[in-house]
Amino acid sequence: SYKSASANRTVKLTTDQFLFRHQHSKKVSNPNHLIIEGLKTGSTPESGAAFTGIVKDQAGHEFITVVNGAGYYTD
């Protein structure tokens, strides 16, 4: 979900599967129906790739996920 910059509204986007089309296609599934509240990716030469996200389950519990040192985008 995201808040529109031009209006005071929240838009929710949901899917149970997503197919990444890159060198090697990868299908990602969401069997627990987690809702992504927000995420940020990035990388530096020193630390490699990183991901931080907040997800919410169907009961409303929020989980913070942090992955650091996940390699480089060229891997």
Tell me the pTM.
0.52
Residue 59 falls within a domain, yes or no? yes
How many domains does the structure of the chain reveal?
Answer: 1
Residue 75 falls within a domain, yes or no? no
Residue 36 falls within a domain, yes or no? yes
| Rounded CA separation 13/1 (Å) | 6
Question: Can you give the pLDDT at residue 74?
Answer: 61
Cβ atoms of 68 and 41 within 8 Å: the answer is no
Residue 32 falls within a domain, yes or no? yes
Using the structure block, give the residue that is written with the tokens 């149970």: 16
Domain of residue 24 covers 2-67
pLDDT in tens, 19-63: 666 666 677 777 777 888 888 888 888 888 888 999 898 899 999
pLDDT at 7 over 70: no
